[in-house]
Amino acid sequence: MSTVPDPIPTPIPGNPPVPTPMPPITEPEPDRLPDETPNPNPDENDAPPLSV
């Protein structure tokens, strides 16, 4: 008869249960394609200032 260790740690009376450490899930950002780079609005930024 083989003894299999319990995968769930048994909580010790008087102590709060220890949460299992979970590494944060970070998804890598996809590389932008050359045509996906955000371009400023030319109508808004290239227009000469209005003289009032």
Cβ(29)–Cβ(36) below 8 Å: no
**How crowded is residue 28: how many other Cβ atoms within 10 Å of its Cβ?**
5
Residues 1-52 pLDDT 10s: 557 665 666 666 776 666 777 777 777 776 666 665 566 655 655 656 666 6
Q: Which among 16, 20, 21 is positioned nearest to 8, based on CA atoms? A: 20
Question: Which residues 6+ apart lie within 8 Å of 11 measured at CB?
Answer: 17, 18
CA distance 27 to 38: 21
Kindly report the pTM of this predicted structure.
Answer: 0.15
